[in-house]
Chain A
Amino acid sequence: MSAITLPNRTPGKPGPAALISAMFATVRARLLIVSRYKGQLLNEIVTPIVLAAMPILLGRATAGDRASEVFLANTGTANYVGFMLIGSAVFVIVSNAFWHVANWLRWEMETGTLESIYLTPTHRVFVAAGTGIYSTSRSTVGAFVAYLIGSAIMGINPFQGDLLIAFLFILFGLIPLFGMTLLYGALVLKLKEANAMLNLMQWVVNFLMGVFFPITVMPAAAQFIAKLFPPTWMTNGVRSAMLGVGYFFNEWYFDLAVLWFFMLAAPMLGVWAFKKVENSVRRNEGVGQF
């Protein structure tokens, strides 16, 4: 009898193709689940429009016919509708990124499958990356559709300014953003029932990003903190490219370079914080407890 020769692979170590397959299986599973909740998808389109409508209507009521003129003097653009719509669309992408990662962890905890993920040979980073890709595709499409519908309702041209540069700011902003979502993940792992904290952080994000106002109206200390937050650069970059509100460093490539720095720093910080909390939880109560 001849011995069967197994493929040359260390047992328990999946190859790159298997890892990528697991990642896309996660994306598919999550998209399939959300496709069953059409109301949620509709909400995602309505939310940015309603969020933007409130300051727009307040502004019209406050400044009347001079709304554009006053807004131009205070922010650098007369297109306050575009300013608010871009702000709320980017906010929804950012906020969803944090919530989707946090909810994914919490959901796995509650359904009792988080510990199983740790026991499978597929590294959890690939499952998390799958959630990240799912979140990006879901919220980017939703935000874009909301921006188009909002622009149509409020009568502005959605395609103005330098669209390619705006796209680059979104693209390069997503990587540090998902790096930072690991901080949210760490919070959920540590606190478990962290809904109130996550709600609070959602509004902190809204404030720091300057969703409805330029961050220059904030006190100097708050501006400094806001500039340490990558989505602030992302929002301002998109607005500057499309509406000409002005880059923080006057030229688009300098602002984009800052986002490049965050592309390295934010994931490193996120991974470090997540691993630290994860190790502590695994040493103590275990990741399965909720």
Chain B
Amino acid sequence: MTAITPTTPKATPAQVFSTFWAMVRKELTVLSRYPVDFIASFFQLFIIVAIFTLAGLTFSETGQATEGTSGVVVYGFIMFMFVSDTLWTIGFNVRHEQVQGTLEQLYLSPASKFASLIARVTHLLIWTSLLSLMSALIMKAMLGSLPVYNLGRALFFLVFILLGTFGIGFAFAALTLRVKETANSLANLFQFAFMILGACFFPFGALPEWMQSISRLLPPAHGVDLFRSTLMNYPPGFPELASVQTETTVVIVFGLVMPVLGYWLFRRAEHHAREKGSLGEF
């Protein structure tokens, strides 16, 4: 009698894509069931923009923002929205599946885990792109002027920045599997740290020198700096953290290395959780 050795089925690229698309469709369907959320998030964006615009104008002698200031604030805000979505959504979704009790079931299916992770943030990127466009238009109307140069190059950088933050998103999801409920508080703290060290609402020059030194160690901060400097056509003093060449290198390496590293960390955390039998625990 011969023993049957079960082999792990390997998903073909078509199957991986099919899983990815099914997950994106599922997320979009869930999202479409909450129309109030759509409307609320749009108005929320409008109010946040108004608040920071009015706050900025209390420091203006003319009651109008300069092109430089509006570029820094608007593009910093857009980067903040993209980076926040990409960073936390994967981890939050993993946590949500844990709480709902469906995470363990997902791991029992032969569907690609990678595609399932990526799909959790894809639908949000579509929505965030729309919101970013709207916020740029609103802020332009409120602030008077907004510099738009080198759009193609800026979008090229944006792709690499997002790839890199996907990687951090995987790493954060790994952390979520380990620390469970504490991940919420950690996400808030990281987000606040990014708001300040990433200088999303002001130039890096406003930070004390020691904080700028920390910012220089953070690739997403270089991403914010390079993205907005490019759209502002590199005015004097921009980019602030390093030269264009250095920041371009940092952003590209970040975009290529971080997803691999983040996914590796996620697989390790997942393996650890499966061994301990804590995947479904929350």
A228 at the interface (CB under 8 A from B): no
Further contacts, 9 of them, CB under 8 A, given A61-B203, A203-B48: A43-B188, A59-B56, A74-B59, A196-B40, A197-B40, A206-B51, A212-B52, A212-B54, A217-B57
Residues of B within 8 A of A217 (CB): 54, 57-58
B196 touches A39 (CB 8 A): no
CB distance from B211 to the nearest CB of A (A): 10
Bound-state CA distance A57–B44 (Å) is 23
Residues of A within 8 A of B59 (CB): 58-59, 62-63, 67, 70-71, 74, 80
A58 touches B206 (CB 8 A): yes
Residues of A within 8 A of B65 (CB): 62
B46 and chain A: residue at smallest CB distance: A203
Per-residue B-contact encoding for A205-241, CB less than 8 Å = 1, 0 else? 0110001111001100000000000000000000000
A-B contact pairs, 29 of them (CB 8 A): A39-B185, A39-B189, A50-B192, A54-B52, A54-B196, A55-B52, A55-B55, A55-B56, A57-B207, A58-B59, A58-B201, A58-B202, A59-B55, A61-B202, A62-B69, A67-B59, A70-B58, A70-B59, A73-B61, A74-B58, A74-B60, A196-B40, A196-B41, A197-B40, A199-B41, A200-B40, A200-B41, A203-B47, A211-B51
A204 and chain B: residue at smallest CB distance: B47
A39 touches B186 (CB 8 A): yes
Residues of B within 8 A of A193 (CB): 34
Q: Interface size on B (CB < 8 Å)?
A: 42
Chain B contact residues, CB within 8 Å of chain A = 34, 36-37, 40-41, 43-44, 47-48, 50-52, 54-61, 65-66, 69, 72-73, 181-182, 184-186, 188-189, 192, 195-196, 199, 201-203, 205-207
A57 touches B206 (CB 8 A): yes
CB distance from A114 to the nearest CB of B (A): 20
Bound-state CA distance A214–B51 (Å) is 11
A203 and chain B: residue at smallest CB distance: B47
CB distance from B186 to the nearest CB of A (A): 7
A75 at the interface (CB under 8 A from B): yes
A73 and chain B: residue at smallest CB distance: B61
CB distance from B228 to the nearest CB of A (A): 13
Chain A contact residues, CB within 8 Å of chain B = 37, 39-40, 42-43, 46-47, 50, 53-55, 57-63, 66-67, 70-71, 73-75, 80, 191, 193, 196-197, 199-200, 203-204, 206-207, 211-214, 217-218
Bound-state CA distance A211–B206 (Å) is 21
Secondary structure at chain B's binding surface: helix, strand, loop or mixed? helix
Given the contacts A50-B196, A197-B40, A212 and B205 also touching, CB distance less than 8 Å: no
Bound-state CA distance A37–B188 (Å) is 14
Bound-state CA distance A50–B201 (Å) is 12
Residues of A within 8 A of B54 (CB): 212-213, 217-218
A70 touches B61 (CB 8 A): yes
Residues of A within 8 A of B36 (CB): 191, 196-197
Candidates B51, B196, B205, B207; contact of A207 at CB < 8 Å: B51
Residues of A within 8 A of B199 (CB): 57
Candidates B43, B47, B202; contact of A54 at CB < 8 Å: B202
CB distance from A11 to the nearest CB of B (A): 42
CB distance from B178 to the nearest CB of A (A): 14
A47 touches B185 (CB 8 A): no
Bound-state CA distance A58–B70 (Å) is 11
Residues of B within 8 A of A70 (CB): 58-61
